[in-house]
Amino acid sequence: MICAVILAAGRSRRMGVQKLLLPIGGKPMIAHVADAVLAGLRQAQAALSVSKGGPVDRVFAVVGADGAGIADALAGRGVHLVTNPDAEGEMLSSVRCGLRVVPQDAAAALVVLGDQPGITSEVVAAVVDAFRSSGRGIVVPTHAGLRGHPLLIAMRYRDEILSCHDGTGLRGLLQAHPDDILEVEVPVPGVREDVDTPEHYARTAARFPKPNA
């Protein structure tokens, strides 16, 4: 089982409004990201032989004070919501909240930024496929040779993430285990882009088709 943890607890102070609820291609940004993740996991699962089978992959979204709005945006998608009581803390606190609810029999967790609408289902599937075929514990997508998100992390690192790397977050995990990292080059610049300001949002939204366009 591969689970996904979408980080959606931020308050979007630089944006001035909750950015994850802003429209991208005709639906809220967080829904756009979740749909890419769900589709990518389905693609990766379909690539497995029928004989391998295995548990159904699951998706979690870690939310904060704006959880009700995020829940409405994700309604009907089967995404499980987890509330981070320390949503004002570092991103690592949300990662930890998500990892705590990932089932014990999961092989890995895909850590996804909720404000990264440029990721695609193909990126998600490529990262998952690379994890399954490589035996590496950490898979990182790259574009033009530069690392981005989402990261896929084997559950053997769960306890380490829950207890270590305060102040450095997942960057600290990568620094601690360079020999267990597999970089996967993808032709999608969105793995390097998130949305933090109104200017970022305007540029990003303009790249997506409008509804009924």
Q: Is residue 212 part of a domain?
A: no
Burial (Cβ within 10 Å: 0-12, 13-18, ≥19) of residue 159: exposed
The pLDDT > 70 percentage for the chain reads 94
Q: Is residue 86 part of a domain?
A: yes
User: Is 10 part of a structural domain of the chain?
Assistant: yes
> For residue 153, what are the domain limits?
2-202
Question: Looking at the domain assignment, is residue 213 inside a domain?
Answer: no
The verdict on residue 209 lying in a domain is no
User: Considering the domain boundaries, does residue 173 fall inside one?
Assistant: yes
Q: Is the pLDDT of residue 212 over 80?
A: no
17 within a domain of the structure (yes/no): yes
**pLDDT score recorded for residue 49:** 53
Distance from the Cα of residue 150 to its chain's centroid? 5
Q: Is residue 18 very low, low, confident or very high in pLDDT (cuts 50, 70, 90)?
A: confident
211 within a domain of the structure (yes/no): no
CATH no. for residue 100? 3.90.550.10
pLDDT at residue 4 greater than cutoff 70 = yes
Q: What is the number of domains present in the chain? A: 1
Give the closest residue to 139 by CA, choosing from 63, 191, 82. 191
Which tens digits make up the pLDDT trace of 108-135?
999 999 999 999 999 999 999 999 999 9
Residue 117 CA: distances (Å) to CA of 1, 24, 178: 24, 8, 28
Q: What pTM was computed for the model?
A: 0.92
pLDDT at site 92: 94
Distance CA 170, CA 79 (A): 23
